[in-house]
C-alpha cells in the first residue's frame, strides 16, 4: 500500500476532475440530489485480501458516522468472510484512493448504494434493487465505449 501522510499539491485540477466524475456518476443513476462525497481524511473499511492495484471491487456504503465515511471496499471474487473483523482494516479515504484509484469516482454515492465494479461492466444497486442508468448519461456513454473495444 502507498503511504500517508497526505501529499498536498498546488492547484485544484485533480480535485475538480474527481468532483466532476463523481457528479456525473451520481447523476447517471438519478442520485444527484443525494451526492455525498466523503472527506479524504475520513476512514473506510477494506478487505485484507484486496491486492494493491486490483481492479475488480465491491463497494458498499452504510450510514456515515463521524469520521467513518460508511464505505466498505472488498474484492468481487473473495473467499474471505468480510463479516469477520479480522478480515478488515480501516484506512483513510485518501489512502484507499492512492491504492485503488478506480474506486474514487464512486465514493460520492449516498448511503445504501452498492457498486459491483467489474472489468466487463459496473452494476449499481441501492437497498438491493438495481439502479437504472439514465439514457444519454455519462455512465451509459462510458459503458458503451468500453464494450465496443
Closest CA to 134 of 35, 21, 22, 27: 27
Q: In this prediction, what percent of the chain has a pLDDT beyond 70?
A: 91
pLDDT by residue (tens digit) across 32-64? 999 999 999 999 999 999 988 788 999 999 999
2 in any annotated domain:
no
Q: CA 133, CA 22: separation in Å to the nearest integer?
A: 15
| 103 within 8 A of 50, measured Cβ to Cβ | no
74 in any annotated domain:
yes
Q: How high is the pLDDT of residue 14?
A: 82
1 in any annotated domain:
no
131 in any annotated domain:
yes
> What is the DSSP pairing of strand 57-61 with strand 113-117?
antiparallel
39 in any annotated domain:
yes
126 in any annotated domain:
yes
Q: CA 71, CA 43: separation in Å to the nearest integer?
A: 8
8 in any annotated domain:
no
Q: Which domain holds residue 113?
A: 13-144
* Number of separate domains in the chain: 1
38 in any annotated domain:
yes
Q: How high is the pLDDT of residue 143?
A: 82
The pTM assigned to this predicted structure is 0.88
Element (H, E) at 45: strand 43-47
Amino acid at each position: 500500500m502507498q503511504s500517508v501522510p497526505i501529499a498536498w499539491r498546488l492547484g485544484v485540477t485533480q480535485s475538480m476532475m474527481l468532483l466532476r466524475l463523481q457528479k456525473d456518476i451520481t447523476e447517471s443513476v438519478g442520485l444527484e440530489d443525494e451526492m455525498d462525497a466523503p472527506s479524504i481524511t475520513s476512514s473506510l473499511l477494506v478487505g485484507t485480501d484486496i491486492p494493491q492495484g486490483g481492479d475488480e471491487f465491491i463497494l458498499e456504503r452504510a450510514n456515515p458516522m463521524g469520521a467513518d465515511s460508511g464505505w466498505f471496499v472488498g474484492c468481487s471474487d473473495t473467499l474471505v468472510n468480510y463479516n469477520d473483523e479480522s478480515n478488515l482494516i480501516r484506512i483513510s479515504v485518501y489512502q484507499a484512493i492512492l491504492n485503488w484509484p478506480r474506486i474514487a469516482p464512486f465514493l460520492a454515492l449516498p448511503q445504501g448504494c452498492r457498486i459491483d465494479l467489474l472489468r466487463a461492466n459496473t452494476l449499481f444497486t441501492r437497498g438491493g434493487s438495481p439502479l437504472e442508468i439514465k439514457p444519454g448519461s455519462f455512465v451509459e456513454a462510458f459503458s458503451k465505449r468500453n464494450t465496443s473495444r
